[in-house]
Amino acid sequence: MSTTERPALVLAVDGGGSKTDVVLLDTTGGVLAWERGPGSSPQIAGLDQSVRVIDDLVRRALGPHDPDELTAVGLYLSGLDLAEEITTFRAAISPLPWAEGAVVENDLHALLRAGTDAEDAIAVICGTGMNAIGVRADGAQVRFPALGPLSGDWGGGAELGDAVVWHAARAEDGRGPETALVPLLLRTVEATTVAAFIEDVHLGRRDGQGFAALSPMLFEAAAAGDAVARGIVQRQADEVVAFVRACVTRLQLHEVEVPVLFGGGVARGRDPLLLDTIRAGLAEHAPAARLQIVDAPPVLGAALLVLGATEADATALERARNGLGSDLRLARLPLVRG
């Protein structure tokens, strides 16, 4: 890639199940463009659509800049959980003009970097789905397939939303206990009965591609004391603790004061019951672990990783943190023109 007297350019991508962020920076840490679009997880969107989404956002972020100006590119995507998936994705983007030498990895690496510089750390993401990673100072890692029920997974916004519909259906037809989830669901989806809503989904009259948007009502009902909702929230907390316990055990970090970075939309909701139950579980199974909510967009971590690959100095990294530390700043930032 070519260099000029101006600071070189780097590109950072964070792609999840519901949204994708692409940021163009220079090597002083200055944010030149920040583009946001739909989800690009290959497991959810499919490989071809994932590449299309990212390519479109990258081209918008680059604007007038030649891709040859890029000195480093990093893509951190949900759904790249297996080595074969990473290899396949790297091959799919290889013909694109901006993808030369790009680092391709799972988005958990970006969440980790956004939340901590610690060499011993654990990250759990609870967004549309769930996944976790543990790292140790000597380079050892613990990863999970994150392939849903097939690999023993449960949790995240999608499955919390599914649980809302499941329990509401059983409450309405008498198979399950009464729950406040029934009126909350009917109000939200503007249906007369749960059965009518389910029929509409089944017959294609409503979108049936997941109910992640319904998950907030679960926490609303739990906060009001609904027993069914509280049980689901507590199960979600147990899943977070299970990931952490597995990482601590497999990396032998029981005696280490290890940060547990908790990110994703469900985490950022800061539901008291969820967090209190997680902390209680950690106290029992990983007492040295410290739970930390990551509010910064994961694309911050992607940017710090890409800048680090260029050996950017501490001032540049801090400038990037200031520029990407909050979604509130997300806007069409003016591109630096030649």
Domains of the chain by residue range:
9-114+296-329
Other C-beta atoms closer than 10 Å to the C-beta of 250 total: 13
For residue 129, pLDDT beyond 90:
no
State the pLDDT at residue 337.
34
Provide, rounded to the nearest whole percent, the portion of the chain with pLDDT above 90. 87
**CATH level 2 (architecture), domain 9-114+296-329:** 2-Layer Sandwich (3.30)
E-strand stretches of the chain: 9-15, 19-26, 31-38, 70-77, 103-106, 121-126, 130-135, 141-143, 259-263, 290-293
Q: What is the mean pLDDT of residues 133-162?
A: 93
For residue 334, pLDDT beyond 70:
no
State the pLDDT at residue 329.
61
**Burial, 48: exposed, middle or buried (Cβ in 10 Å; 0-12, 13-18, 19+)?**
exposed
CA distance 107 to 115: 13
State the pLDDT at residue 4.
47
State the pLDDT at residue 107.
94
pLDDT, the chain, mean: 92
For residue 261, pLDDT beyond 90:
yes
- pTM for the whole thing? 0.87
Tell me the pLDDT band of 209, cut-offs 50, 70 and 90: low
Tell me the pLDDT band of 327, cut-offs 50, 70 and 90: confident
State the pLDDT at residue 330.
59
3-state class of 157 per DSSP? helix
Residue 93 one-letter amino acid = I
Q: What is the mean pLDDT of residues 117-141?
A: 94
**Burial, 152: exposed, middle or buried (Cβ in 10 Å; 0-12, 13-18, 19+)?**
exposed
| Contacts (Cβ under 8 Å, ≥6 apart) of 126 | 155, 156, 157, 236, 240, 262, 263, 264, 265, 266, 267
State the pLDDT at residue 98.
97
